């Protein structure tokens, strides 16, 4: 696919020299190609684009869609090598777009989308400066396009995402955005996407599925609203039967949003993999869903993910989860084997991999009951998690840190189970025992207590606990936890 894409780009660049402005026609063939691409039927999409290029060689929409194929090829494979090979295609395609009709709203939109897509991959592989300048270009293109073509709905999809993400940047870094001529607002961005999703229900809007997916993911990851995010997907008919990206979106939000049973059913009924591009992360999610249910065959999915993955992300995490699977079966020897592998293999960019590395470095074998409770909690099985926790007490733990974690996790279980009085008691004990530890347990217990009191309408206690949360120094996740507390205090004021 790499060679074909490159040659197609080169041919079109040469063909376009000296010619009149080329068109942007999102015709029926391009729509079919786009729908195949976003479903992860990339080979089918590629074939349709080749047909379109033969029929209408002056149409530049295939240039944008070819870039989408490159982007998704890198995204699904997680291959740094593929990223390096395909990233260079972007400059060729940008030159091709310059031959297009600049009086079309697609002219700047396609260029912006290509920058957004590669910025996403640049971030994934730790090339942050490259990503910043790609985002800036996309932002400027879209802002200009919005002014020139205010009725062009697709602007709202991409600008909504950028506004929301830029608006979530911590205050101490906002000067950098201003220096780059960018600004954002989370609520403005979310409103853009929500309104666009509603518009798409009643109008012919080609990017409806993409908009819904982006809106749901931002609800989940930016606004911590897992339930609304899940409902947005399900109420809009996700997953479609012939769409692997739909399956991934539902599985991701379901597994991490405590809809484990539904997510696992979706994963087990996913369409035939032969029709789609390889996407190993789907196996990782299957393993995670089964582990949250404490099913004994969870490890085989993590092993399959490692065998199929061409990247470094989620490898440490998968090895850690395999180790846990053995530990749950009472096999300490294999736990030690796989946690040792987790310490030596894979990348260290994502949080799940960092946590796996931390467990290896600690040289401490997790308490089985605490591990079971943690997994059941992550799966949304609160009563079963509480049962596992009740088998223990603070006396079962040799260090202040592990005893504090026990209290904190018991509080989290009660909190999510809507047993707020019991949650507050456990949080109070967590704060008392963990206030001098360099861990996040006490700070997050104070934050969670404040959120409960705010929900109950007790403003004074809420403010008191938000301030208590901010008083804890030098703990992990301090920036993120403090940001939530400061935002809440501003809201209450």
Residue 394 has a pLDDT of 86
Query: Is 230 in contact with 257 (CB distance < 8 Å)?
Result: yes
| C-alpha to C-alpha distances, 192 to 84, 156, 197, 372, 374, nearest whole angstrom | 33, 6, 9, 41, 37
Residue ranges covered by each domain of the chain: 1-152, 369-493
CATH topology of domain 1-152: 1.25.40
Please state, in angstroms and rounded to a whole number, the distance separating the CA atoms of residues 449 and 423.
8
pLDDT the model gives residue 491: 84
* Superfamily the domain 369-493 falls into: Tetratricopeptide repeat domain (1.25.40.10)
The reply to whether 1-152 and 369-493 are identical in fold is yes
Quick one: tokens of 290? 């089964």
Q: Output phi, psi for 437, to 5 deg.
A: -90, 150
pLDDT at residue 14, as a whole number: 45
Q: How many Cα atoms occupy the beta-carbon half-sphere of 435 within 13 Å?
A: 11
For the residues 327-334, what does the mean pLDDT come to?
Answer: 98
How crowded is residue 308: how many other Cβ atoms within 10 Å of its Cβ? 15
Give CA–CA dist 321/317, Å, rounded. 6
| Other Cβ atoms within 10 Å of 15 Cβ, number | 15
- Of the pLDDT bands very low, low, confident and very high (cuts 50, 70, 90), residue 5 is low
Q: How far apart are CA 47 and CA 323, in angstroms?
A: 43
Sign of CA dihedral 477, 479, 481, 484: negative
Q: For all residues of the chain together, what is the average pLDDT?
A: 93
Give the pLDDT band of residue 17 (cuts 50, 70, 90): very low
Tell me the percentage of the chain whose pLDDT exceeds 70: 96
Return the minimum-mean-pLDDT range out of 78-82, 99-103, 272-276: 272-276
CA of 226: how far to CAs of 258, 421, 436, 484, in Å? 8, 23, 32, 16
Q: Taking residues 218-238, what's their average pLDDT?
A: 95
- The pLDDT value given to residue 153: 97
Query: Based on the number of CB atoms within 10 Å of its own CB, is 436 exposed (0-12), middle (13-18) or buried (19 or more)?
Result: exposed
pLDDT at 144: 98
Query: 155-176, pLDDT tens digit by residue?
Result: 999 999 999 999 988 777 888 9
Beta carbons of 324 and 338 less than 8 angstroms apart: no
User: 304-327, pLDDT tens digit by residue?
Assistant: 999 999 999 999 999 999 999 999
Residue 223 has pLDDT above 90, yes or no: no
Stated pTM of the model: 0.90
Q: Could you read off the pLDDT of 392-446 as tens digits, one per residue?
A: 988 888 889 989 999 999 999 999 999 999 999 999 999 999 999 999 999 999 9
- Averaged pLDDT, 198-206: 97
The pLDDT score that the predictor gives to residue 20 is 57
Give the whole-angstrom CA distance, residue 286 versus residue 132. Answer: 33
Note the pLDDT of residue 12: 47
Q: Which of 491, 492, 489 is nearest to 187 (CA)?
A: 491
Does residue 339 contact residue 319 with C-beta atoms inside 8 Å?
Answer: yes
Number of H helices, E strands in the chain: 27, 0
């Amino acid at each position: 696919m790499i060679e074909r894409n490159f040659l197609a780009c080169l041919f079109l660049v040469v063909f376009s020299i000296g010619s009149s402005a080329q068109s942007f026609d999102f015709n029926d063939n391009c729509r079919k190609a786009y729908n195949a691409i976003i479903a992860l039927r990339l080979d089918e999409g590629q074939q349709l684009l080749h047909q379109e290029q033969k029929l209408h060689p002056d149409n530049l929409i295939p240039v944008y869609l070819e870039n989408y194929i490159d982007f998704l090829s890198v995204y699904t494979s997680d291959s740094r090598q593929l990223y390096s090979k395909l990233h260079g295609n972007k400059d060729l395609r940008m030159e091709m777009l310059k031959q297009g009709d600049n009086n079309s709203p697609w002219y700047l939109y396609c260029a912006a989308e290509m920058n957004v897509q590669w910025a996403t991959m640049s971030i994934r592989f730790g090339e942050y400066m490259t990503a910043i300048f790609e985002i800036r270009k996309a932002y400027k293109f879209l802002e200009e396009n919005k002014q020139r073509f205010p009725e062009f709905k697709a602007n709202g999809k991409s600008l909504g995402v950028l506004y929301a993400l830029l608006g979530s940047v911590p205050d101490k870094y906002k000067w950098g955005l201003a220096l780059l001529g960018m600004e954002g607002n989370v609520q403005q961005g979310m409103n853009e996407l929500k309104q666009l999703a509603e518009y798409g229900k009643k109008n012919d809007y080609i990017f409806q599925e993409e908009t819904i997916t982006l809106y749901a993911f931002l609800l989940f990851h930016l606004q911590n609203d897992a339930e609304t995010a899940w409902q947005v997907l399900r109420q809009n008919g996700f997953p479609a039967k012939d769409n692997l990206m739909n399956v991934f979106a539902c599985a991701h939000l379901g597994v991490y949003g405590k809809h484990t049973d539904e997510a696992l059913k979706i994963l087990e009924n996913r369409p035939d993999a032969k029709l789609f591009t390889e996407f190993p992360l789907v196996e990782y999610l299957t393993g995670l869903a089964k582990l949250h249910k404490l099913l004994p065959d969870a490890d085989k999915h993590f092993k399959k993910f490692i065998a199929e993955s061409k990247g470094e992300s989620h490898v440490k995490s998968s090895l850690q989860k395999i180790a846990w699977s053995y530990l749950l079966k009472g096999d300490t020897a294999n736990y030690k084997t796989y946690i040792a592998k987790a310490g030596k293999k894979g990348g260290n960019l994502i949080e799940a991999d960092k946590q796996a590395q931390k467990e290896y470095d600690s040289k401490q074998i997790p308490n089985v009951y605490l591990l079971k409770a943690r997994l059941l909690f992550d799966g949304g099985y609160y009563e079963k998690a509480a049962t596992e926790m009740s088998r223990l007490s603070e006396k079962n733990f040799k260090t202040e840190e592990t005893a504090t974690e026990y209290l904190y996790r018991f509080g989290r279980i009660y909190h999510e189970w809507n047993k707020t009085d019991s949650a507050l008691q456990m949080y109070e004990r967590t704060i008392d025992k963990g206030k001098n530890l360099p861990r996040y347990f006490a700070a997050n217990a104070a934050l969670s207590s404040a959120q409960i009191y705010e929900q109950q309408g007790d403003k004074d206690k809420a403010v008191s606990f938000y301030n208590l949360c901010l008083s804890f120094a030098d703990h992990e996740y301090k920036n993120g936890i403090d940001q939530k507390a400061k935002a809440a205090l501003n809201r209450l004021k």
